[in-house]
Amino acid sequence: MFAAYVTVTIIASVFNGFAAVTYLIGHEYPKAQADMKRIPRSWVPVLGVLLAAGSLGLLVGFAVPLLGTLAAAGLVLYFVGALIAHLRVGSRQLVGWAVFFSTAVATLALNLGYHL
């Protein structure tokens, strides 16, 4: 159980960390996605900070389990919001979302399973 918890948590942290970097450096992909979902571009850095906080929170969770659990739950909520944003504009491009969401859910489940 511990190996799965550590592996999935690190994978989720890396995925979200890379996504946060693309949001924070001003890459065109997050801007195009914001435009497609009719979200103001001014939100892109905020979303990047949320992803970065989730990514770092997962890693801090190895030392402070409650923070890891909260970070995983926060990422699950973040990606529920992303799904709503996709569906609101009729987007069916959900493969990327599904990867990130399932990783966040798995991290939360393993975190709870390991620490409870």
Q: What's the pLDDT score for residue 69?
A: 97
Q: What's the pLDDT score for residue 85?
A: 96
Segment 56-61 long-range contacts (CB within 8 Å, at least 24 positions apart): 56/13, 56/17, 58/9, 58/12, 58/13, 58/16, 58/107, 59/9, 59/10, 59/13, 61/9, 61/111
Whole-model pTM: value is 0.95
Q: What's the pLDDT score for residue 74?
A: 98
Given a contact cutoff of 8 angstroms between Cβ atoms, the answer to whether 53 and 71 are in contact is yes
CA dist., res. 57 & res. 66, Å (int): 10
Note down the domain range covering 44: 2-115
The yes-or-no verdict on residue 104 having pLDDT over 90 is: yes
Q: Indicate the number of domains in the chain.
A: 1
Render pLDDT for 39-77 as a digit per residue (tens, 0 to 9).
Answer: 999 999 999 999 999 999 999 999 999 999 999 999 999
The three-state secondary structure class of 63 is coil
Render pLDDT for 18-38 as a digit per residue (tens, 0 to 9).
Answer: 999 999 999 999 999 999 999
The yes-or-no verdict on residue 105 having pLDDT over 90 is: yes
Mean pLDDT for 3-26 is 97
Q: What's the pLDDT score for residue 82?
A: 97
Work out the burial of residue 46: count CB atoms within 10 Å of its CB; fewer than 13 is exposed, 13-18 middle, 19 or more buried: exposed
Q: What's the pLDDT score for residue 116?
A: 87
